[in-house]
């Protein structure tokens, strides 16, 4: 979501005649697109804002803007301006489109801006200019905001309530992206499964996927993120039937303990979740299933943590994003008794070890088989090698020329190393 938002910021700047530079000393404007989902992300953003003070000193005409969800927190915009007075523009998540006006006004009048719209239901904006930076992959917002209020999460407070884009607008953008040659399109939303609930025209996520699956062309569709409570069998059926929709589902469980899931306000039980996984596996046997797992949530004891390990063993995720719970001011969980950090650290180490073991075993199943891979980029630090993902979402590295990037190829997997797969090209299309 943040990468795509940065692409929109870059789109506004490109329209104004700016171009991208990797050299911050050459920049005329620096925009920090912040995230406040975890304390770490926020601290890093603040550290990075602090680090450009000297640039502003030596180049006073440099424009510094801070945008994104960190600024949308209660009173954060003004506090930012107080602590970092050299920041020229602060925009909340609902005000991003005002960046151009703020820059023009700053240039003409030297007037600094702090614009944070607290509206929980801002209008969905269409026809935003996007400067895409992800090669043959494109991100496509289908909705914004979240209604779920998980007790650890700040997102509903900083991104407002769920607002879906009209299906016709989503389909138009999707077709444009296919026409422009993008090979993989990822549908984005905080909870894509509740797409359309606010539109009151009968649209829903399964219906959207169905329409998208009818769009001709050789391309892939992924989506993120799904909420287990809203993930229904209609969606599973459409994925199973549609060759273009990847057999790859990210279904964040967070915890394997019913007690903790209740405290998190997640509205599903481990049993409900496991039944959904069973349905996915029975209809899409080769589906790559990934998840988010959190340890150290308030009140989590050893039995709760064991339940999470048990989920990892039962579901056999191809990979998992693992986190230590991070206190977010203003959320309900911030007021609950906290688990000591050393306990959380010990648990995350065990959790990662368990997930790595499963990933390694699953990786071995790929060896000796041929998979269609969308070649996405040069392999990092490996001259003459490229990489891309299987339909199930596994990253594969293989020897090949840059000319393969953006193409579908067949690759035989020769060996695996933990989550990484290595293969040889068998067919170019």
Binding mask 127-146 toward ligand SF4 (x if CB under 6 A, else -) reads -------------------x
SS3 409: strand
Closest C-alpha among 232, 1, 231 to residue 96:
1
Nearer to ligand SF4, 336 or 405 (CB): 336
Choose the stretch contacting ligand SF4; rule: CB under 6 A; options: 59-67, 151-159, 203-211, 319-327.
151-159
Backbone angles phi, psi at 254, to 5 degrees: 75, -55
Distance CA 305, CA 392 (A): 28
Nearer to ligand SF4, 164 or 191 (CB): 191
The reply on whether position 150 binds ligand SF4 by CB under 6 A is yes
Query: Which 184-213 residues touch ligand SF4, going by CB under 6 A?
Result: 190-191
The reply on whether position 30 binds ligand SF4 by CB under 6 A is no
Strand 395-399 and strand 113-115: pairing? unpaired
The reply on whether position 153 binds ligand SF4 by CB under 6 A is yes
The reply on whether position 227 binds ligand SF4 by CB under 6 A is yes
- Label each residue of 110-144 as H, E or C: CCCEEECCCCCCCCCCCCCCCCCCCCCEEEEECEE
The reply on whether position 151 binds ligand SF4 by CB under 6 A is no
Number of residues that bind ligand SF4 (CB under 6 A): 10
Closest C-alpha among 96, 112, 92, 136 to residue 13:
96
- Label each residue of 281-319 as H, E or C: HHHCCCCEEEEEEEECCCCCCHHHHHHHHHHHHHHCCCE
The reply on whether position 155 binds ligand SF4 by CB under 6 A is yes
Please identify which residue in 68, 77, 122, 156 interacts with ligand SF4, judged by CB under 6 A: 156
SS3 66: strand
Asked whether the beta carbons of 116 and 77 are under 8 A apart, the reply is: yes
Shortest spacing between CB 1 and ligand SF4, in angstroms = 10
Please identify which residue in 33, 71, 95, 148 interacts with ligand SF4, judged by CB under 6 A: 148
The reply on whether position 321 binds ligand SF4 by CB under 6 A is no
Nearer to ligand SF4, 149 or 321 (CB): 149
Asked whether the beta carbons of 375 and 407 are under 8 A apart, the reply is: yes
Choose the stretch contacting ligand SF4; rule: CB under 6 A; options: 120-128, 152-160, 268-276, 413-421.
152-160
Nearer to ligand SF4, 323 or 371 (CB): 323
Distance CA 65, CA 88 (A): 6
The reply on whether position 35 binds ligand SF4 by CB under 6 A is no
| Site for ligand SF4, rule CB under 6 A | 146, 148-150, 153, 155-156, 190-191, 227
């Amino acid at each position: 979501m943040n990468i795509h938002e940065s692409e929109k910021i870059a789109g506004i700047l490109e329209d104004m005649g700016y171009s991208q530079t990797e050299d911050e000393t050459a920049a005329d404007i620096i925009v920090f697109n912040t995230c406040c989902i975890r304390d770490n992300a926020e601290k890093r953003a603040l550290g990075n804002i602090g680090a450009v003070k000297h640039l502003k000193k030596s180049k006073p005409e440099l424009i510094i803007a801070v945008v994104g969800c960190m600024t949308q927190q209660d009173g954060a915009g003004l506090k930012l301006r107080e602590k970092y007075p050299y920041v020229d523009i602060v925009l909340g998540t609902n005000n991003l489109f005002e960046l151009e006006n703020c820059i023009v006004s700053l240039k003409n009048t030297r007037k600094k801006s702090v614009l944070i719209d607290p509206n929980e239901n801002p209008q969905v904006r269409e026809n935003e200019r996007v400067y895409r930076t992800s090669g043959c992959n494109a991100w496509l917002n289908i909705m914004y905001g979240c209604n779920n209020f998980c007790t650890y999460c700040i997102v509903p407070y900083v991104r407002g309530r769920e607002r879906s884009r009209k299906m016709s607008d989503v389909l138009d953008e999707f077709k444009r992206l296919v026409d422009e040659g993008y090979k993989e399109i990822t549908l984005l939303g905080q909870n894509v499964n509740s797409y359309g609930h606010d539109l009151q025209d009968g649209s829903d996520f399964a219906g959207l996927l169905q329409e998208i699956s009818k769009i001709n062309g050789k391309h892939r569709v992924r989506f993120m993120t799904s909420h287990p409570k809203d993930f229904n069998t209609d969606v599973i059926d459409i994925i199973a039937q549609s060759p273009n929709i990847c057999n790859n589902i990210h279904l964040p469980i967070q915890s394997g303990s019913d007690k903790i899931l209740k405290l998190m306000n997640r509205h599903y039980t481990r049993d409900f979740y496991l039944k959904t996984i069973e349905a996915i596996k029975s209809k899409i046997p080769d589906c790559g299933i990934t998840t988010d797992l959190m340890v150290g949530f308030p009140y989590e004891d050893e039995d709760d943590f064991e339940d999470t390990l048990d989920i990892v063993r039962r579901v056999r995720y191809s990979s998992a994003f693992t986190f230590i719970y991070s206190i977010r001011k203003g959320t309900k969980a911030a007021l609950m008794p906290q688990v000591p950090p050393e306990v959380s650290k010990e648990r995350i180490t065990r959790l990662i070890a368990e997930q790595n073991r499963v990933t390694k075993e699953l990786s071995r199943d790929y060896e000796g088989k041929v998979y269609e891979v969308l070649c996405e980029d040069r392999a990092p630090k490996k001259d003459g090698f490229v990489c891309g993902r299987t339909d199930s979402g596994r990253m594969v590295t293989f020897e090949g020329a840059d000319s393969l990037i953006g193409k579908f190829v067949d690759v035989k997997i020769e060996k695996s190393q933990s989550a990484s797969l290595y293969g040889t090209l068998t067919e170019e299309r």
